[in-house]
Copies of this chain bind each other. A is one copy, B any other.
Amino acid sequence: MKHIPRTLGGLACAGALGLALGGCGKQAGEQAGNEVAADAAQASYVAPGEKDDYYLFYSGGHSGQVYVAGIPSMRHISTIPVFAPYPGTGYGFDEESKAMLGDFTWGDVHHPALSQTGSKYDGRWLFVNDNANNRVARVDLRDFKTKQILGPIPNASGSHASSFVTENTEYLFVSTRFSTPLPKGRVADLEKYADEFNGMVTAVEVDPESGEMKVGFQILMPPFDFDLASTGKGPSSGYVFFTSYNTEMAHDTLEVNASQADRDLGAIINWKAAAQAVRDGKATEMEGVPVLDPAKVPGIVHLIGIAKSPHGMDVDPSGKWVVAGGKLQPTTTVINVEKLLGAIEGEDYEGDFRGIPIVSHDSVVEGEVPVGLGPLHTQYDGRGNAYTSLFIDSAVAKWKLPPWTDEEKADLSKVVVDKITVHYSIGHLVVAGSDTNAPYGKWLVAMNKLSKGRHISVGPSQPESSQLIDISGEKMKMVAEAYTEPEPHFAQILKVDEIKPIEVYPKAENTNPNAVWDLADGKVEREGNHVTAKIVAVRSRFGPDKVEARVGDTVTLHVTNIEQTPDMIHGFGINDHNINIVVDPGETKSVEFVAQKPGIYPFYCTNFCSALHQEMQGYLVIREAGETQAPVQ
């Protein structure tokens, strides 16, 4: 069956915002549509046996996970479980991951960030935030697994503007979308919001060797809702830029009350100066964290008026320009970093907010570009172009960064060089490598908030839609559409050949004291009412394949997958027990439970392994507590 893209003959061509691909319109007819479809089909097709060129790591929003897709095929490749249990890999079922998740079984992942060295991706880690429970997590790109969850972060509510890494991953910046009275747990009347509530920016320190995260320091902020951030590079090195909304400091019916002011205030943080101030003893401790008050420590925070209700605040690859998108204003605000630093140096202020200076807007803003309705977030291709998502227009605008000609300056609509319709209500967008100093540039992914039945119907719970756009030419070209789990907020794109993940855990690296590597060493031992089994999993058996316990016993099972062959994964599920762990080649995983009910419970390999996978099973025998003769194998 041939799929002629109706959008080309109809919707997109009829729209006001330009063409998805060249050559449509009624005259062009079906023939041109066919050619265009064939081109796009070819551009996104990755034939069986071939591989994608780029990883797309996209946030799974309130699903709590990170998803990996391939570009250009946009195929879903795998799920990296982070903040929610995922029985497919046993995450949240074995003791180690259970402990990492703690009391939480979900998270709200917004903004993934690849680690950087010298403002380039170094392929080591992916950091993601949990807005719901004030946490950040680190995924190791050596094995694509979550290795640490930090939090809940003290003194913070809603780690939304996170994770954003500094140019050498010295810090992750995390700021609060919500404000509360501090210290947390203190109750104040909501009517006193403006005076009693505070936001917080947290600098999470990252160990340069291990990636281990810890809370470094915090900066007390006014009770604005901090939204997004971007870190400096080149001339803006050492700075991090945040947007905020609700500078009205409303505490109810925010829909109306947080949209009153004509401008909101962005925050410009000199994190190197802040770190120095902490070292200089200028912080006070709150809940064990050194906290800086910017009204008392001048020079670490400046504010700037930006377009109303902004979302993105994005530093370009050169580090010379910072673009803020104000969703309730049809322009992006382009800040000139050189002028900004000059204004800070010269104390060129237009006022202050509770002792935090507000930089003179007109002195530092290079221009406001009329990109279209609802500009949210801007990305860059490294060739001097910016791409801004237009939420209300459901489009992406491509426009030229400064320097602008005098003619352009006189009419900034002239720097907008292309627009493409997306479907629908785009939030974030990502250009491959945009947040480095050397973007890959070729691809843009539009992360649309509403799919509105673009897909085959799956009932009221609609997926989101993401669209792949080729930005290698003068005009943007729509290539493919994919559907994504709820809900992608932001993404990172990494060239496939920049990392080389392992596929097997080398035996030599397994230092787990409970690992056993030979069927002869598998055993079940009892000490008092604690039964411990050390079990080998290997194609296609468990050794031992019988574990005996008595009701009331604590049973600990350590399962070692002694395979050293890629993709030879074994699972270990116990019937009727809500227990399933999945053990990758070379790994040891443990699960502990109290034997509750007498009976014979088969256990089996839950992850297909061989022709005799179905035969890979054994029995958990639980005898009555009184049966003292229970033999132990």
Contact = CB atoms under 8 A, between A and B. Distances in A.
Interface string A240-254: 000001100001111
A109 to B, nearest CB: 10
A460 B623 contact: no
A573 B20 CA distance: 37
Contact of A190 (B573, B586, B616, B619): B619
Nearest to A69: B76
A298 interface: no
Contacts of A624: 187
Interface of A (DSSP majority class): loop
A197 to B, nearest CB: 8
B62 A449 contact: no
Given A105-B578, A578-B104, A5 B47 contact: yes
A58 interface: no
A133 B449 contact: no
B145 A461 contact: yes
B178 A617 contact: yes
A576 B452 CA distance: 31
A108 B577 CA distance: 12
B75 A483 contact: yes
Contacts of A132: 573-575, 580, 606
Interface in A78-116: 78-80, 84-89, 93, 103-108
Contacts of A37: 42, 45, 47
A575 B540 contact: no
Contacts of A425: 608
Given A47-B481, A62-B580, 19 more contacts: A5-B49, A7-B50, A40-B47, A48-B480, A62-B573, A75-B482, A78-B462, A79-B485, A108-B606, A134-B575, A158-B602, A245-B615, A254-B616, A452-B566, A453-B567, A457-B496, A460-B504, A460-B586, A462-B567
Interface in A160-208: 177-178, 180-181, 184-188, 190, 197
Contact of A615 (B76, B185, B254, B500): B254
A101 to B, nearest CB: 10
B78 A540 contact: no
B78 A185 contact: no
A614 interface: yes
Contact of A53 (B1, B38, B259): B1
A23 to B, nearest CB: 14
Contacts of A615: 245-246, 254-255, 258-259
Nearest to A12: B49
Contacts of A44: 45
B45 A40 contact: yes
Complex copy number for this chain: 2
Contacts of A53: 1
A87 to B, nearest CB: 4
Contact of A47 (B7, B184, B197, B482): B7
Interface in A268-284: none
B72 A74 contact: no
B461 A584 contact: yes
Contacts of A508: none
A188 B548 CA distance: 12
Most B C-beta atoms less than 10 A away, residue of A3, A61, A545: A3
A457 B501 contact: yes
Contacts of A42: 2, 37-38, 41
A70 interface: yes
A87 B70 contact: no
A117 interface: no
Contacts of A290: none
A332 interface: no
Contacts of A328: 611
A500 B84 CA distance: 32
A385 B319 CA distance: 64
Interface stretch (A337-345, A527-535, A593-601): A593-601
A263 B539 CA distance: 23
Contact of A187 (B43, B134, B449, B599): B599
17 contacts: A7-B50, A38-B38, A41-B47, A45-B45, A61-B88, A63-B87, A78-B483, A78-B485, A84-B87, A89-B486, A93-B106, A145-B459, A145-B461, A185-B597, A187-B621, A452-B567, A460-B503
A585 interface: yes
Contact of A64 (B87, B177, B456, B545): B87
A584 B37 CA distance: 35
A467 B569 CA distance: 21
A326 B256 CA distance: 68
Given A252-B545, A485-B88, A606-B132, A144 B77 contact: no
A229 B20 CA distance: 49
Contacts of A499: 457
A455 B50 CA distance: 8
Given A180-B602, A457-B501, A604-B158, A463 B77 contact: yes
A76 B78 contact: no
B52 A505 contact: no
Contacts of A486: 88-89, 569, 582, 607
A311 B8 CA distance: 47
Contact of A49 (B454, B505, B578, B582): B454
Contacts of A79: 485
Given A76-B483, A105-B578, A601 B68 contact: no
Contact of A599 (B2, B144, B186, B452): B186
B622 A187 contact: yes
Nearest to A494: B456
A157 interface: yes
Interface string A445-487: 0000111111111111111000100000000001011110111
